[in-house]
Structures are given as C-alpha cells and as structure tokens.
Chain A
Amino acid sequence: MLDSVASIFLSGRNMSRLMEGLAVTLEISVISVVLSMLLGIFVGLAMTSRNRLVLAGTRIYLEIIRVMPILVLLFLFYYSLSKIWGINLSAMSVAILVFTLWGTAEMADLVRGAITSMPRHQRESGRAIGLTESQINRYIIIPQAVRRLLPGVINLTTRMIKTTPFVFFINVPDLVKVGQQIVEITGMRNAMASFWVYGLIFLIYFIICYPISCFSVYLERKWES
C-alpha cells in the first residue's frame, strides 16, 4: 500500500504541482479575505447610516449576494458580465472579485450587527464623563465592537477558504483542479490515485480550517468569562 501511495505523490512533479495548487488556493483566500475585511468595515458603517438611499442600496446588495450561490456568481462574472462590460478578466481575478463581493457583504453585516447591538448607554456614559466623540469611539465603542466582531470574522474566513474549491469550475489551477489532473493522469496506472489524492486534499483543507475554527472558539470562551 505504501508503495502505491509513494508512486502517486513522488512520481513526476505531482507533489510540487499539488503545492503550487495549494499556493493558488491560499493566494485567492488571503487576498479576498483581506479585501473583504477592509471594504466590509466601510460598507458596514454605511449600513448604520440614517440616509435611506444608502440603507436601501446596501440592503439590496447584501440580499442579492446572500441569495445567489457563489458558483452562480462565478459563472455570471466569468462567462457573461466580462463579455457584456467588454472587460477581459482572468479566471483568477474573477475568483478574487466574486469572493471579495461576497465577503464584503457578509463582513458588512457583521460590522453592522456589532455596532447596532452596542447599548446606547455606552456612548451616553462616555459623554457624561466628558469624553470627546473621538475618545468615545477610540476607548469605548471600537474595543467592544471588535470583541463582538472577531468570532464572526474568523468564522467568515474559514467559510471563504472552504468556498475556494468552487474556482475549479472556472478553470483556475487551484488545489482541486491540480488534484483532478493528477488523478486523471496517475489513475490510469494506479487505481488508488483518486482515493489518496482527494483524501489528501480533504486533509489539507481540514488542517487549514480546523486551527482557525479552534481559535474562534477559544476567543469566545475567553471573552465570555
């Protein structure tokens, strides 16, 4: 059995190709997560605005993104919108664009939730003891909002990582696509290839996501007490 496993991963450039695929997966994840966090804060702040037009706009954006499966969005942007708008985006850019659009919407909703769930007396007490508005934000509102936000943000991060296999459908050479190619080639002489390769990819995703999930649980427990 060990021989068969070794022959799959050690033959040719199989292992280094898988690692290249993993790098693509991680690149898409990291860029989209970072962009989503930054943009999400701004959109989230906009969602707490009193301007009805801004509220309606952000609400519609959030609902559309929420209802559509990410895969449909990928198809839409890759096969149609780039043609309609006449922009030629690479599959990789489309992937990052779609994940960022989705992540921003989810992040914005988390930010909105963290801000609106803040009791009003926090700000009022700050005023009562004579803090300026920026001091109130700096020392009272933001630290508490970050605590409320973090577990959700970490959760969103793992969700985004777990959604990256979808880029397979628009032919980005990610971990899954490379894995499939290896299975196709190696599978002809080694029937167990699909078992070991997909098994390894399964394990890689688990090894990436599990510690992140644990961190979120740890933070929640720590801040609860």
Chain B
Amino acid sequence: MDIDYIVAHIPMFGKAASLTISLALAGILLSLLIGLVCALVRYFHVPVLHRIVGGYIELSRNTPLMIQLFFLYYGLTRVGIMLEGVTCAIVGLAFLGGGYMAEAIRSGLEAVGRAQIESGLSIGLSRPQLIRYVVLPQAMAVAVPAIAANTIFLIKETSVFSIIALPDLMYVAKDLMKEGHSNESNLMLVVSYLILILPVSLFFTVLERRMRRAGLGS
C-alpha cells in the first residue's frame, strides 16, 4: 500500500465524487418528481395516462440501468436523438428511479384510508387541497422507508456511469488500476463511497425514527 500515492490522488477522487454527487442529486430529485406525478396518476386512475404510466413503471423497474444507459447513449444517437453524457446519466437515473419512487409513493397513498378522503371532501376541500393537506402528508410519512431504500439504491447505481464515459469514481479508479495501483485505488473507492452513502443512510434512519414518533397513519 502506497500512502503517498493515495494522498496525491485525493483531489482526483474528490472531483470524481463531486460529479457523482451532483448527478445523483439531480437524478434522485427528478425521480421523486416523476414518481410523485406517476403515483398520483395511478392513484386517481386518470384515464389513458394511467395506462401509460403503468407501462412506464413496469419498463423502468424490470430493466437494468446499465442497459437503459447503453440504449440512451449509444442507441438513440442512431435515430437522431443526441444526448450529452451528463444529460444521459441524469435522464437514465430519473427514468429508472421514477418507476421505483412511483411504487414507493403509491404504497404510501394506498395506506391513506378512504375515510380520510371522504372526510376531506365532506368538509368542502377541493381536490388539490385534499391532496396537499390530507393525502400527501400521511402518504409521505408511510413512504419514507421505501423512499430511503430507493435513494440509497439509486446512489449505488450511479457507479455505472463510467460506461458512458463520465469521469466518476469508478472511472478514476479504473484509470489508476491501469497504472498498476489496484489496491490503492480500490481502498480510495471504498472510502469514497462510504463517505457518500453513510451520511445518507444515517439521515434516513433518524428521519424514519422521527416519522414513527409522529404516529401518522397508525
């Protein structure tokens, strides 16, 4: 183990990690947005859209991100859709995550009792008000553990971005391995991902505990 080598390459890994973080952040936020919209469409059985969303959810949940990226990045350019690496990564992650988040949020929505909705309607709330003040707060509280698991899953999935030539952590590590420093770069890799994922994991543990204390939906 060459400590000097590791120290010399910390900035390189830092830069790669910041790329991973920004791609993951953008992808996960978009996933949540797509997931929320899809879950609401499914929950309220919006005609036509409901079927399209159902198909999308199945497609995104039953195919690997890596193949989605290969298709987006290398396949679609052939039919005239050019996506830049960064865009492609975010679109791919959001496509995958959207399906997972939709299922997580939908299970939360389904946990909200019919009586809640009927009570809301009977006191004269409009549909948007009903969603905003009655359904979503309760549904989100139930969905937090699933959303947490999905978030961590998506962060881990970002590790494949090097296949579309993005200089992320795996990309840098692979480069250093070519120079014959596989042990050092693997150590850096493990430490980098620990630094990335452990705080997120801890944050969700605390959040889940707080949500449970609120006793919503129970």
Chain A residues within 8 Å of B, Cβ to Cβ = 66-72, 75-76, 79-80, 83-84, 158, 162-166, 168-169, 176, 179-180, 183, 191-192, 194-199, 201-202, 205-206, 209-210, 213
Contacts and interface: CB of A to CB of B under 8 A. Distances in A.
Contact size range, B: 35 or more
Nearest to B194: A67
Nearest to B183: A80
Contact of A198 (B75, B156, B170, B201): B75
Interface of B: 58-59, 61-64, 66-68, 70-71, 74-79, 152, 156-160, 163, 170, 173, 177, 182-183, 186, 189-190, 193-194, 197-198, 201
Top 3 A-B residue pairs of the complex, sorted by shortest distance between their CB atoms = A209-B62, A69-B156, A79-B182
Contacts of A67: 193-194, 197-198, 201
A83 B180 CA distance: 12
Nearest to B96: A162
Contact of A168 (B58, B66, B201): B66
Given A67-B194, A213-B62, A80 B186 contact: yes
A75 B198 CA distance: 20
23 contacts: A66-B201, A67-B193, A69-B156, A69-B193, A72-B186, A72-B190, A75-B186, A79-B186, A80-B182, A83-B183, A84-B183, A158-B62, A162-B63, A165-B160, A168-B66, A179-B70, A197-B75, A198-B67, A198-B70, A198-B74, A205-B67, A210-B62, A213-B58
Contacts of A70: 156, 159
A176 B189 contact: no
Contact of B64 (A83, A180, A195, A205): A205
Nearest to A205: B63
A209 to B, nearest CB: 4
A79 B173 CA distance: 11
Contacts of B183: 80, 83-84
B66 A176 contact: yes
A196 B71 CA distance: 9
Contacts of B158: 69
B19 to A, nearest CB: 15
Nearest to B71: A198
B96 to A, nearest CB: 10
Given A75-B186, A210-B58, 7 more contacts: A183-B74, A191-B78, A194-B74, A195-B71, A198-B70, A201-B70, A206-B62
B186 A192 contact: no
B136 to A, nearest CB: 25
A195 B63 CA distance: 16
